[in-house]
Amino acid sequence: MRISVVGGGVIGLSCAYRLAGAGHDVTVVTETGPGETTSAVAGGVLFPPLAANSDRVDRWTATSVEEYRGLGAPGVRMVRGTYLVPREAPLPSWALSMPGLDHEPGRLTFTTALVDTPVYLGWLAGQVAALGVRTEYRTVTRLDDLGADLVVNAAGLGGGRLAGDGTVVPVGGQVVHLADPGLTEWIVDGATPVLRHVIPHGRHVVCGGTQEPGRDSVEPDPGVTADIVRRCRDLVPALADAPVLGAKVGLRPFRPEVRLDRDGRIVHCYGHGGAGITVAWGCADDVLALV
């Protein structure tokens, strides 16, 4: 079939890859290149939020871990690290798919994929193009206007608007890049009211972060930058002298739960919040199955 995939972030590109690999004639329609999407701002450590316990999320996460592990893509490494959680928090079901899981009260340690998102997305876009997928850079205002046999709505924050779904809201996330002093493990602190994460990618470390519902600006706040740097240096003292390289803001497309279903000639796949990198390949497989 002729299929238009609306959205050029990690979800849209993963869907396009699966669909083209199955023999469909695919066009990606996007406003920006992959390096300018929200996906490119993500810290890139592969696991869903602590509270995201569901059979779908577990399956999507397990599928993506295995895909990244065997992909051989630039910007993707399997690295061990620590997730700090409230001591009373039960073991989340998705953690059972993580290689080398060690669990004790207040701490999960496991190996997962670290994805340097701009590097990986550039590679993935190249792989998609090599499969014959075309890319059109334009704004889509109505899904019905696309002259394809089938449309995949993977437009991230715009996915809700295109579907007439008011439950999708932007949640701003600011991160800071520091020079990598040679860190060999990642750490995410979800046990405190303000999330902290330190995710090393070789030349830089992504430090964060913020959760700002309703934010509409992607301009970094210098005060927030300074606060993130302070909090992450407290968490990882090895960053004490690491130069600050810059700051970025992404607007995560949050929804009470991911929408992944088919409505006539439209397959909807949006509302992944900050977990797009984590569930991308599992979601792409489900989109292919619906097609």
Residue 86 has φ and ψ, to the nearest 5°, of -55, 140
Is it true that the peptide bond before 209 is cis, omega within 30 degrees of 0?
yes
For 218-269, what is the HEC assignment?
A: CCCCHHHHHHHHHHHHHHCHHHCCCCEEEEEEEEEEEEEEEEEEEECCEEEE
What's the predicted TM-score (pTM) here?
0.95
For CA atoms 30, 34, 37, 42, the dihedral sign is positive
What pLDDT tens digit does each residue of the chain (291 aa) get?
Answer: 999 999 999 999 999 999 999 999 999 999 999 999 999 999 999 999 866 768 999 999 999 999 999 999 999 999 999 999 999 999 999 999 899 999 999 999 999 999 999 999 999 999 999 999 999 999 999 999 998 999 999 999 999 999 999 999 999 999 999 999 999 999 999 998 888 999 999 999 999 989 999 999 999 999 999 999 999 999 999 999 999 999 999 999 999 999 999 999 999 999 999 999 999 999 999 999 999
Query: One-letter amino acid identity for 205?
Result: V
Vertex 66 angle, CA 61 and 67, to 5°: 95
pLDDT at 51: 67
Q: Which of 68, 199, 179, 73 is nearest to 125 (CA)?
A: 73
pLDDT on residue 205: 98
**The pLDDT of residue 10:** 97
Contact 82, 115 (CB under 8 A): no
What does the alpha-carbon distance between residue 215 and residue 253 come to, in Å, rounded to a whole number?
Answer: 11
Q: Which of 250, 280, 268 is nearest to 167 (CA)?
A: 268
pLDDT for 132 equals 98
